[in-house]
Amino acid sequence: MDGGKQAGTRFWRWRSNPLRRRDDVVEAWIVLAMWTVVAVGGSVAGLVTATTAEETFARQRAERHPVRAVLLADVPEPDSALRSSGDKALAKVRWTAPDGSARTDLTLVGTGLKAGTGLTVWQDGHGTPATAPPSPPEAAVEAGLLGTFAGLALTGAVYATGALARWRLDRRRIDEWGREWDLVGPKWGHRTG
């Protein structure tokens, strides 16, 4: 098939044609709108999500600070049968907050440590324990993944909405064909079967 005939076949819903129905034109507009929203909206959603995530991670790096803490109790080795892959346990630690007050709280530490062991814990500007912020390379990867997932989520939602609209158009076309057959069928005379 040559290129001109193939292009004409591909865009038949847009051309004037006595067999073209109004629903065919509506379906063509739905497909065009879907592709436009996927291309433009998916890119925008991905970029906005990635930028917002990157800004959040940068703010976390600015607000959170490591401080030296002291382990207050021994952390026993876990039972070998129950050993986890992380080999971490909750333990009570003490550190000095930015206002100079002494703070104690539970945090995850490695197992097998003795009381008095020095550790590094992270705290926010209020002296509350926090997780370590992601490094700039980790933040870039995570922001990129979040942006990709946001674009894919929008694509999935648009595809599902478009598929539902096209399904409804198909149902309407089938119902119209049934009504037309009810009008034309008896004019053909005898029925078979």
Which amino acid makes up residue 119? Answer: L
Who wins on pLDDT, 193 or 76?
76
Question: Going by C-beta distance under 8 Å and a sequence separation of 6 or more, which residues neighbour residue 119?
Answer: 68, 69, 70, 71, 93, 107, 109, 113
Q: Percent of the chain at pLDDT above 90?
A: 39
Give the integer Cα–Cα distance in Å for 91 and 129. 13
pLDDT digits (tens, 9 = 90+) for 33-92: 999 999 999 999 999 999 999 999 999 999 998 989 898 888 887 766 555 556 788 889
Res. 191 pLDDT band, cuts 50 70 90: low
75-122 pLDDT, tens digit each:
887 766 555 556 788 889 998 887 788 888 888 888 888 888 888 888
Pick the range with the lowest mean pLDDT from 5-19, 37-51, 69-83, 139-153: 5-19
Count other Cβ atoms within 10 Å, centred on residue 4. Answer: 8
The segment with the largest mean pLDDT, out of 16-20, 26-30, 122-126, is: 26-30
Which pLDDT score is estimated for 78?
Answer: 73
pLDDT at 10 over 70: no
Give the chain's mean pLDDT: 85
* Confidence band, pLDDT 50/70/90 cuts, at residue 128: confident
pLDDT at 186 over 80: no
- In this prediction, residue 140 has a pLDDT band, given cuts at 50, 70 and 90, of very high
